[in-house]
Chains A and B, each alone.
Chain A
Amino acid sequence: MKPAPFRYCAPETVDEALELLATGDPEDEVKLLAGGQSLVPAMNFRLARPGLLIDLNRIAELASIATRDDAEGSILRLGAMVRQSAAEHSPDVARLAPLMGEALPSVAHTQIRNRGTVGGSLAHADPAAELPAVMLALDARMHLRSVRGERAVDAGDFFLGLFETALEPDEMLTAIEIDAASAVEGSCFEEVSRRRGDYALAGAAARVRLDADGTCRFARLTFLSVADLPVRALEAEQMLLGERPHDELLRAVAEHAARREIDPGSDIHASSAFRRHLAAGLARRTLATAVSRATAAHGATDHGGASS
């Protein structure tokens, strides 16, 4: 099908776009157009009928990947319009947010990632999408702007429900900031999908930091496709802190997360019970890989002075 008629504008600055967004009247829905890889299919199906489209693709200031250092370490800043494929191939992303780099190839296909943006995926907030769960695991900060001003929202407060975020109607997501992964951290992303590039039936992201003696000092475990929004398994993370992770503990942690901390639905793709089963396996595997990567990272920093 084809989209219903709409008006179109392509501003070149964020300020212009925000002005246009602010003047939208309720009769005439105004939508920001990023990569269009979710919005345009919805328009073609006439599930979405915006009266005005504000195309963000000509706004250069939204499309850059930058890094900066502060007292705490490096910070990775991704403009909202950074293409998913640009992030996938960015050395800065690989170095500072390897978890994101590992997850990106699982987002749809190359042809979709060439157009789809990081910000569009987050603003769309599909619970089956990879990037929201990854941002939750990375403690990312969402930078939102409107003509009223600017604010930063933690990923944990940004995702509110099915396709629902903290974005107000007049607000735009302009950038995402992520603190660099610690040198002694291990992370891992894995998902299960029916076919390559399909939305996942379930997926998990894990991050672990260990002391020199192997004691866990920091843990993150998040899931996609197991509830109406990406889920962080706070109790499971707590179970790891202060412990020296071993197979049995990881199994117990993963089982706990899958039984108590997620709420998967049943649909044509998978039953709720099957999703729980997948989530338990994925949690155990991603945590185990994150732990072994963290252990290896320790080895590298302890003995590998030459590489620093």
Chain B
Amino acid sequence: MLSDFLRHELGLTGTHVGCEHGVCGACTLLLDGDAVRSCLLFAVQCSGCDVRTVESLAGQRAGEGAATEDPLHPLQEAFREEHALQCGFCTPGFLMSLVPFLERHPDPSDEEIREALSGNLCRCTGYQNLVAAVRSAARRLRAEPGEPDAAS
């Protein structure tokens, strides 16, 4: 599985594995920009594709030398401030589902946020704080002046 390849071969343990049948969402990552389940993909299928895991988020936006000052992605900042995680097992999957969601819906309604969260399970937070975090992250991202390092 791609999820096992990342964790065991590459040592990238940010991608979590819960159910291995596509239900829980913990293993979600971006394949060519789209959120997908890595537990339902064989690593060999992704040859030549762009795979982004949760490890790619932090530090990405910080400028030269600023990496240690402001290492977190605005979505991660919002998760921390709004207490959108407790044990954190579900968090990478939520983050990687929400990155493309916020790119496509910069100003989402609560209804849209709930819909976007519905593909991932969290057993700790009760989801309320997740909704608040997405709202706050959307505000932060809208306030950002453009995308300095928009990866193509």
Contacts and interface: CB of A to CB of B under 8 A. Distances in A.
Mutual binders A and B? yes
Interface of A: 1-2, 8, 10, 36-37, 40-41, 44-45, 55, 57, 85, 108-112, 114-115, 195-197
Contacts of B20: 1-2, 41, 44
Nearest to B25: A111
Given A112-B119, A196-B115, A8 B35 contact: no
5 contacts: A1-B20, A44-B20, A45-B21, A111-B28, A111-B119
Contacts of B21: 41, 44-45
Contact of B22 (A1, A41, A55, A196): A41
B118 A114 contact: no
A225 B39 CA distance: 27
Nearest to B46: A57
Contact of A112 (B4, B37, B41, B45): B37
B36 interface: yes
Given A195-B118, A197-B119, A10 B45 contact: yes
Contacts of A108: 119
Given A37-B22, A195-B118, A111 B42 contact: no
A109 B117 CA distance: 9
Given A112-B37, A114-B34, 14 more contacts: A40-B39, A40-B40, A41-B21, A41-B22, A44-B20, A44-B39, A109-B118, A110-B97, A111-B25, A115-B34, A115-B36, A195-B118, A196-B118, A197-B118
Q: Which of B36, B40, B44, B115 is most buried by chain A, counting CB atoms within 10 A of its CB?
A: B40
B40 A114 contact: no
A115 B40 contact: yes
Q: Which of B41, B44, B119 is most buried by chain A, counting CB atoms within 10 A of its CB?
A: B119
Contacts of A111: 25, 28, 35-37, 97, 119
Contacts of A41: 20-22, 40
B67 interface: no
B22 A112 contact: yes
A57 B22 contact: no
Interface string B22-33: 100100100100
Contacts of B35: 110-111, 114
Contacts of A115: 31, 34, 36-37, 40-41
Given A36-B41, A197-B119, A114 B36 contact: yes
A36 B118 contact: no
A115 B30 CA distance: 11
A185 B42 CA distance: 43
B124 interface: no
A227 B24 CA distance: 28
Q: Which of A40, A85, A196 is most buried by chain B, counting CB atoms within 10 A of its CB?
A: A40
A40 B45 CA distance: 13
A195 to B, nearest CB: 7
A262 B114 CA distance: 33
Contact of A8 (B41, B44, B118): B44
Contacts of B141: none
A37 to B, nearest CB: 6
Contacts of A197: 118-119
Contacts of B4: 2
Contacts of A37: 22, 37, 40
B22 to A, nearest CB: 6
Contact of A110 (B39, B41, B114, B116): B116
Q: Which of B4, B31, B42, B116 is most buried by chain A, counting CB atoms within 10 A of its CB?
A: B42
A2 B7 CA distance: 15
Given A44-B39, A45-B21, A85 B34 contact: yes
